[in-house]
């Protein structure tokens, strides 16, 4: 089983507008049109069994609306192969009730995004989210490191380690191999801690708009440094993720399969670890 633990899709009526907005912020070219249906088609063609959608709540007043859409996605998972997490904002009113609704809706976890939500990961409001999520048995996945479209230091590996050691969550995922563009800090602060990394937007090929300045393109991890990080952390705590539509799922699978790892380790990264975490 192959599980893409980090994808994005939006309601049909706003998908094109949202993807265009994000394309302008990141200077990258999307590989889907942002709809659930197109993600389903592209994932199936790539041989992916399950794509996990991670919604981002940028306005706390939108929490319930976004989570309702996530629950609608999950009503069709058997047909589409697309499964959504919920989302929550650190300023969402009555966090306890909001996270209970996530749990009661059958959503397996929530996405938080410190750069887009403009709150540092080690803020007390996020710590409360982690504590409540642990109480309800929910996974929390956070954006890790810098964001290609947002300035500021909101989600560093050092902040993530503070969460690990203070809150001790058992279902914490730090996206982008622990911290996008914080690779040395990932090695220093996070490798070996009790959390998962996903591999989204960290390795392989990404597609920038034509004419974009070569000097401004963000470097990804090379094979050797990526292997150094996941071996130091433990391949049993690494989840395959693409950040679709911002990467090609088929290309990303090929990259993972090309790594000089044991077949059992590749299988775990590509889906086994995620299946266990999701309770599949």
pLDDT tens track for 65-109 = 999 999 999 999 999 999 999 999 999 999 999 999 999 999 999
Task: Summarize the confidence of residues 211-236 as an average pLDDT.
Answer: 88
Q: What is the pTM of this model?
A: 0.96
**Cβ proximity of 48 and 253 under 8 Å:** yes
- Report the CATH number that the domain containing residue 81 is assigned in CATH: 3.20.20.140
Instruction: Report d(CA 19, CA 247) in Å as an integer.
Output: 13
pLDDT tens track for 160-189 = 999 999 999 999 999 999 999 999 999 999
Whole domain around residue 250: which residue ranges?
3-278
Number of domains composing the chain = 1
Task: Summarize the confidence of residues 119-125 as an average pLDDT.
Answer: 98
pLDDT band at 241 (very low <50, low <70, confident <90, very high): very high
Scored b (16 or more CB within 10 A) or e, 214-238 reads eeeeeebbeeebbeebbeebebebb
C-alpha dist (Å) from residue 276 to 6, 85, 120, 238, 239: 16, 16, 29, 12, 11
Task: Summarize the confidence of residues 211-237 as an average pLDDT.
Answer: 89
DSSP E strand stretches across 88-147 = 109-112, 139-142
């Amino acid at each position: 089983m192959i599980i893409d633990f980090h994808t994005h899709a939006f309601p049909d009526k706003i998908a094109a507008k949202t993807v265009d907005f994000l394309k302008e912020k990141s200077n990258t070219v999307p590989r889907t049109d942002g709809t659930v249906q197109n993600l389903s088609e592209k994932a199936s063609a790539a041989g992916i069994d399950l794509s996990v959608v991670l919604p981002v709540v940028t306005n706390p007043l939108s929490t319930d609306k976004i989570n309702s859409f996530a629950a609608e996605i999950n009503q069709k998972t058997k047909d589409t192969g697309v499964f959504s997490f919920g989302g929550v904002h650190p300023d969402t009113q009555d966090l306890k009730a909001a996270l209970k609704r996530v749990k009661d809706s059958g959503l397996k976890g929530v996405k938080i995004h410190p750069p887009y939500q403009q709150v540092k990961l080690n803020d007390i409001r996020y710590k409360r989210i982690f504590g409540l999520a642990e109480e309800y048995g929910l996974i929390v996945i956070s954006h890790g490191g810098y964001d290609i479209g947002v300035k500021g230091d909101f989600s560093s590996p050092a902040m993530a380690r503070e969460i690990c050691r203070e809150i001790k969550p058992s279902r914490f995922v730090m996206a982008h191999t622990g911290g996008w563009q914080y690779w040395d800090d990932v090695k220093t602060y996070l490798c070996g801690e009790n959390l998962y990394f996903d591999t989204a937007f960290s390795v392989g090929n990404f597609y920038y708009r034509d004419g974009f300045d070569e000097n401004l393109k963000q470097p990804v991890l090379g094979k050797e440094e990526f292997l150094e990080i996941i071996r130091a952390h433990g391949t049993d705590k690494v989840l395959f993720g693409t950040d679709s539509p911002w990467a090609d799922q088929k290309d990303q699978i090929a990259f993972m399969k090309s790594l000089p790892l044991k077949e059992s380790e590749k299988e775990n990264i590509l889906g086994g670890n995620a299946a266990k975490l999701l309770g599949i």
